[in-house]
Amino acid sequence: MFRTDPRRRKGHSVKRLVLFLAAFVLTVLLLAHVDSNAASRTVSTPSKFAGAFVNWGPIGREHTLQAWEKWLKQKPSSVLGVDFYGGTTWEDSSKLSWVPGIWKKLNPARNVVWSIPLTMKGTPLADVADGLHDAEFEAAARAISEAHPQAVIRLGWEMNLAEMAWFAKGHEADYIKAFRRVVEIFRRHSTGFKFDWCPGWGPQEMAADASYPGDDVVDYIGLDVYDFKQAGTPEERWNTFYVKAPFGLEWHRDFARKHGKPMSYPEWGVGNAGDNPFFIQQMHDWFMKNEGSIAYAAYFDVNGAWPTQIDNGQFPNSQRLFRKLFSR
């Protein structure tokens, strides 16, 4: 029988061990690379899409928003809050100037989107454009700048809806002049403000772009989008009334791109058409598809003109999917 030199056999064993260890290390590295790729394909939804308008709660919206963040496993103070400044009268601009301070007191790290009425019922836009209510806007700008000098200012939103006091149809020039004047007032109080021009989606009662106030006074181009009762299946409604509609999602994307501005979605939600997880999925997918071109999105988590709150069990299928998609 042929016998191998034991010293050579030992040398071969060492070589085999080295080769085995090298192969093992390479395998581990390859698996880690695969895992990292898989993780990158399943990246959680960014916090910029998890903002919300929430209920006031016992002492302010901040605590409710903190519960919202925890529900979605987002980092503390990472999501934008949304609030509405003032009320239904000019006097409210001063009377309610304490509200931004409550936000700051409860959480100085939170940033907020402030929706600012451009006028009040009974006051024509021309009066604002001519400076007759500068004092009220000065008060609002002062209060917000002290609490949130980096705030997003959503001024005169949904101007294409007839129900708004600042409905622009037939008064487009006054709307534009008023918008530009108020932006100047706010800029005197903070150079960190970002200004959001935000129509409601769809044709509504006027062409939204007729009231666009100019690139020099707009930082974000927004769109408020809700799932309304319409004819057809959820899939048909999505394509007809949202994606392809006049002044719908594709128009919004193209208009913002034309003006070199990021998009925003300061209000969106289900509710008017009932429990519709398909709408939730499609909105999420639209956000992710256009992630690099969107500044922020905020869900309207309050039952207002119709039910929209999504974390209280009234829309269980939408709620389940929303939490899955918008969690970190």
Active site residue 267: yes
User: What is the domain range of residue 255?
Assistant: 51-326
Residue 85 near residue 37, CB atoms below 8 Å: no
Q: What pLDDT does 93 receive?
A: 84
15 in a structural domain: no
215 in a structural domain: yes
Catalytic residue among 62, 136, 172, 267: 267
37 in a structural domain: no
7 in a structural domain: no
- Does the pLDDT at position 29 exceed 80? no
Q: Binning pLDDT at 50, 70 and 90, where does residue 128 land?
A: very high
Neighbours of 164 (CB within 10 A): 18
Q: Total structural domains in the chain?
A: 1
Residue-wise pLDDT for 135-159, tens only, equals 999 999 999 999 999 999 999 999 9
Prediction pTM value: 0.87
- Does the pLDDT at position 40 exceed 70? no
CATH code of 162's domain? 3.20.20.80
* DSSP letter for each residue of 131-143: TTTHHHHHHHHHH
Cα–Cα distance measured from residue 248 to residue 18, given in angstroms and rounded to the nearest whole number:
63
- Does the pLDDT at position 84 exceed 80? yes
19 in a structural domain: no
Q: Report CA-CA distances (Å) from 273 to 160, 286, 297, 321.
A: 22, 20, 21, 17
Catalytic residue among 62, 136, 158, 172: 158
- Does the pLDDT at position 53 exceed 60? yes
Nearest 5°: CA angle at 99, between 94 and 103? Answer: 150
314 in a structural domain: yes
Strands 294-300 and 81-84: unpaired
12 in a structural domain: no
Residue range 39-48: mean pLDDT, rounded: 64
Active site residue 158: yes
Quote the tokens at residue 134: 């500068």
- Does the pLDDT at position 25 exceed 80? no
Least confident of 31-35, 57-61, 72-76, 271-275: 31-35
279 in a structural domain: yes
